[in-house]
Amino acid sequence: MNNLVAFLRERRNLPKVRVKASAVLEAFGETAPEALVGRRLPVPAEGGTVEYRISEYLIQQDAFVVMRVSDVARPDLVAFLNARYDEEEAQADVAAQHQKPDWSCPATCVVDLGEDLLSIDDREVAYHIVLHDPARVLAEVEANRRTLDLHFIQSGTGGTWDTDPPAICNECGTPHPCETVRLRGLPHADHEDYRQEWKP
């Protein structure tokens, strides 16, 4: 069991993996191989469970084809980023409704929010607040979303063997998530849902 789990953990980015029949038989106990097709195997992983389904038994190679079917409680980096953008967008929208989207410094140490004037002793902080007004946040969210749209997943060529290529980025041609998408994750590295394996 441990051998199979360790193997699947290592290969979790591959949608399909071929494994030795002996490893699967050991994991499920001695059973007729044909009876194991369709069975599911949850594999504990950092932060959740990755579930595999036995899709095929290859008699001549004495092997099983195991397909990854779900990453329970493990959203991928794109889903994680979209959740962050949704939050930022919602917060900026509310702020823009309460005040106005474009803030300015009409005088030193004063921020014009629209409805209110904010007075701050530190003029550099006042400039910083103006730089991050709702209009700026919404523009950054839009740019980030368009970046993700460009770097979408192009499926691997598909196939049955453990040499099948993993999902790749349509723009970069490198395994997903590509370097560009990983870099977009860095500003959120202190979020509790961020996974260390996403680091560029």
Report which residue type is found at 11: R
Closer of 18 and 151 to Zn ion (Cβ): 151
Closer of 96 and 169 to Zn ion (Cβ): 169
Q: Which residues contact 156 (CB under 8 A, 6 or more apart)?
A: 15, 164, 165, 166, 167, 168
In angstroms, give the least distance from the CB of 80 to Zn ion: 16
Closer of 63 and 81 to Zn ion (Cβ): 81
Q: Which residues contact 101 (CB under 8 A, 6 or more apart)?
A: 92, 133, 134, 135, 138
Near Zn ion by CB under 5 A: residue from 18, 151, 184, 195: 151
Near Zn ion by CB under 5 A: residue from 68, 169, 195, 198: 169
Going by C-alpha positions, the residue among 179, 154, 151, 164 that lies closest to residue 15 is 164
Which region, judged by CB under 5 A, interacts with Zn ion, from 47-55, 56-64, 105-113, 143-151? 143-151
Tokens 């009409």, residue? 106
180 binds Zn ion, rule: CB under 5 A: yes
Closer of 107 and 183 to Zn ion (Cβ): 183
Near Zn ion by CB under 5 A: residue from 18, 178, 184, 198: 178
**Alpha-carbon distance values, 133 to 80, 100, 119, 126, 136 (Å):** 24, 9, 16, 11, 5
- 96: its two tokens: 């823009």
Near Zn ion by CB under 5 A: residue from 102, 120, 171, 182: 171
Give the residues lining the site for Zn ion (CB under 5 A): 151, 169, 171-172, 178, 180
